[in-house]
Amino acid sequence: MQPDRRTQQVFDGFAAHFEGKPTHLAIAPGRVNLIGEHTDYNDGFVLPVALDRDVRVLFRPRADRRVRLYALEFDSWTDFDIESPRRDDEQLWPNYIQGVGLALSELEVPLNGYEGVVSGNVPRGSGLSSSAALEIAAAKAYLASAKQIHALSGPQIAKAAQKAENEYVGVNCGIMDQFISTLGEEGHALLIDCRSLDYRRVPFPADTSLVIGNTKASRSLAGSAYNERRAQCEDGVRRLQSVLPAIAALRDVSSTQLERHRHLLPDTVYRRCRHVVSENERVQATVAALERSDFRLVGQLMNQSHTSLRDDYEVSSEALDLMVESMRDHPDCLGARLTGAGFGGCAVALIWRGSEGDVREFVRKGYAKRMNVWPEIYISSPSAGARVLPLI
């Protein structure tokens, strides 16, 4: 293969730290979610795309069962035994890789060790799923090293990585990020049913582009508030089950039912539920609108999603609201909303194709004027999910 500049850097990193040659390159992308926020852990629907930013592991199998990796951006090493890793208290990144190894072993996939370098260009801590990308790249490296690349389906790999994050790293995330990183497709969004894990490719319109605005605001509240939202949704389901015994999750509740039984719910719980129930409906409406090329409606649905996340789910922030406002001010912006868990991180806008450069400068300046911070703006197109390239 003819390496591009970034791949070349990873090869140079390998050459600087290991004798001999690598045998494989695993690549797993970050993601941006078009719509369907905080619905995945309610058994609902999401519509993410895989980004053209990813985590790469350039590696070769080892004869033993150790994983030995050097992280280029962190300038740091990890070296552990697959079955008995010692959790790293000094640095977080090895723990994702250790957790994935344990989760794969539990599925009784025979594994063996590997060594190499890890490198990523998904902005970290920004709501674009750099963690899921690291997990999935590691999963692919484990499987390829053991010649088990076809042993598990994409959804099984995604579930193993989610398990690692929930149980080993201790972050109670849903399935969306790992799923899209594993199964994303170039030029498409995926409509994922987070209950059955069935999914459908939805062609991304050639007339439009995605602009991502990174507020650079920290997401410090994200962990505790995320868990609190999950608990409020579960509380809503329990209360509604007294009159709707057949429901198992908010996915099973319609807007009409929610309104009818509103009196059973404390106001905050009601508003959390209203976000989830209406967001699931918006995902379906967005897919239908995309399929009939009604991009203005897609934009409106994105705008409604942001309002619902801000007012009912209360996961926006001043920085995110101002980013969304800076995006919507551009005449070629069809709609904009926060993306990911919220509380900071990124917003995503759908814009008419052709004005990317102009929108980028406009949003940069507009946001900087409002917030006194220069944001980062990424123009991205839906990309392929995770893969392993054999090098010899």
Q: Catalytic residue positions?
A: 177
* Stretch of residues binding ligand GLA (CB under 6 A), selected from 35-43, 144-152, 256-264, 287-295: 35-43
Determine the size of the site formed for ligand GLA (CB under 6 A).
10
Asked if residue 57 lies in contact with residue 139, where contact means CB atoms within 8 angstroms, the answer is no
Query: Of 22, 25, 27, 38, which one interacts with ligand GLA (CB under 6 A)?
Result: 38
Least spacing, CB of residue 179 vs ligand GLA, in Å? 9
Among positions 335-364, residues that touch ligand GLA (CB under 6 A) are 340-341
Q: Which residue, 22 or 154, is less far from ligand GLA as judged by CB?
A: 154
Least spacing, CB of residue 352 vs ligand GLA, in Å? 26
> Maximum distance among all alpha carbons in the chain?
68
* Stretch of residues binding ligand GLA (CB under 6 A), selected from 37-45, 118-126, 148-156, 250-258: 37-45
Left (φ > 0), alpha (ψ -120 to 50) or beta: where does 311 sit?
alpha
Least spacing, CB of residue 176 vs ligand GLA, in Å? 5
Q: Assign 305 to helix, strand or coil.
A: helix
Asked if residue 53 lies in contact with residue 29, where contact means CB atoms within 8 angstroms, the answer is yes
- 312 contacts ligand GLA (rule: CB under 6 A): no
Asked if residue 265 lies in contact with residue 240, where contact means CB atoms within 8 angstroms, the answer is yes
Q: Per DSSP, what are the bridge partners of residue 114?
A: 61, 67
Q: Could you identify the residue written with the tokens 């409906």?
A: 281
Query: Of 177, 252, 312, 356, which one interacts with ligand GLA (CB under 6 A)?
Result: 177
Query: Of 176, 183, 334, 388, which one interacts with ligand GLA (CB under 6 A)?
Result: 176
Q: Within the chain, how many helices (H) and strands (E) appear?
A: 11, 13
Least spacing, CB of residue 177 vs ligand GLA, in Å? 5
Tell me how far apart the alpha carbons of residues 314 and 203 are, in angstroms, rounded to a whole number.
31
- Return the DSSP state at 68: E
* Stretch of residues binding ligand GLA (CB under 6 A), selected from 32-40, 76-84, 111-119, 184-192: 32-40
Q: Per DSSP, what are the bridge partners of residue 79?
A: 68
Query: Of 24, 25, 26, 37, which one interacts with ligand GLA (CB under 6 A)?
Result: 37
Tell me how far apart the alpha carbons of residues 68 and 194 are, in angstroms, rounded to a whole number.
34
Q: Which residue, 3 or 125, is less far from ligand GLA as judged by CB?
A: 125
> H or E stretch including 338?
strand 333-339
Least spacing, CB of residue 95 vs ligand GLA, in Å? 16
Straight-line distance from the first to the last Cα atom of the chain, in angstroms, rounded to the nearest whole number:
9
Query: Of 41, 59, 343, 362, which one interacts with ligand GLA (CB under 6 A)?
Result: 41
Least spacing, CB of residue 94 vs ligand GLA, in Å? 20
Tell me how far apart the alpha carbons of residues 47 and 286 are, in angstroms, rounded to a whole number.
9
Binding residues (CB under 6 A) for ligand GLA: these are 37-38, 40-41, 173-174, 176-177, 340-341
